[in-house]
Amino acid sequence: MSVERLFAAAVFGCSVLLLLRLGPAAVNSWRIYAGTGRRRQEDAIGRAPLPSAAVADRAAILGGLGYRQIGETRLVLPVGERFAWIMAADDAESYAILVDNHRTGGLVGIYSAWLDGMWLCTLHPLGQALDRPSLQVRLIPTTLGDSVTSHSADLARLKRVHGAPRAIRTIPDMLALDLDYRTRFGGTRLRPLTVRIIFPAVVVAAIAVLSLALVITVR
C-alpha cells in the first residue's frame, strides 16, 4: 500500500470516528430546528414534575419583580419531552418561560407581543440576540433583575409605537401567543445554533467521503 493510500485510509478512519461522535447531535439539532414551526406547546398543569431548584429560585426572583405563576407547559421534541414553567406579569403585558438547562441550571425568556405582529423577547442568561422589524430579541447575561428591567424599558418604548401589548393572564393566553410566535418565526432563533452544531459534522462527512475516494482510487 502506498504512503498516500495509507494516509487517506487513516484520515478516513479518523473522520468516521468523529462523525460517529458529531453525527447524532447534528441530526437531532436539525430535527428540532426543522419542526419548530409545526411544534406546539401544550398545557401540562397537573402533569409537570416539580421544578428544579434552579428554576424554583428564578421563579422566586420573578415573583418579587411583579410576576406570578400561571401554570406549566410541555413540548415534545425529537430528543424527548420537555417541560416549562410559565409566569405572567401582574400587569398582563408580558410572560416568562422558565426551563431547565444543564449549563446554567435554568434559562428564562420574557415575551411581549402586539396585535400588529410585533414581538419583544428578553433572554437570560444565554441565547442569541436578534433585531428584526417585527422581532426584537435581547440577551441579558448579568442578572434576572437586569433582564426584567431591560424588558420593561423596551416594552415602554415599543408601546409608544405599537400601543398596548396583547394581555397574558392564563395558560390559554400564553398558548395562543406561542402559536402566533411559531407560525410567524419558526426556527428563526434556533438557526445560528443549529448551523454551529451541524457545520462541523458536514465538514467531517465531506472529509470522510473524499478520503474514501482516495483510498479507492490511489494505488
Mean pLDDT over each residue of the chain, to the nearest integer? 84
Q: In terms of domains, do 110 and 155 share one? A: yes
Q: What backbone phi and psi angles, to 5 degrees, belong to 50? A: -65, 140
Q: What backbone phi and psi angles, to 5 degrees, belong to 104? A: -115, -5
Examine residue 69 and state whether it is found in any structural domain, yes or no.
yes
Q: In terms of domains, do 27 and 115 share one? A: no
Q: In terms of domains, do 127 and 26 share one? A: no
Q: In terms of domains, do 105 and 163 share one? A: yes
Cα 118 to Cα 102: distance, rounded to the nearest angstrom: 31
pTM: 0.74
- The more confident residue out of 208 and 139 is 139
Examine residue 192 and state whether it is found in any structural domain, yes or no.
no
Nearest-5° Cα angle at 101, 37 to 176:
35
Tell me the per-residue pLDDT of 196-205, one tens digit each, with 9 for 90 and over. Answer: 666 677 777 7
Tell me the per-residue pLDDT of 25-79, one tens digit each, with 9 for 90 and over. Answer: 766 665 555 556 566 778 998 888 899 999 999 999 999 999 999 999 998 776 6
Q: Give how many domains the chain has, as a whole number.
A: 2
Cα 213 to Cα 57: distance, rounded to the nearest angstrom: 55
Examine residue 112 and state whether it is found in any structural domain, yes or no.
yes
Q: In terms of domains, do 92 and 138 share one? A: yes
Examine residue 191 and state whether it is found in any structural domain, yes or no.
no
Range of the domain at 93: 40-186
Q: In terms of domains, do 129 and 178 share one? A: yes
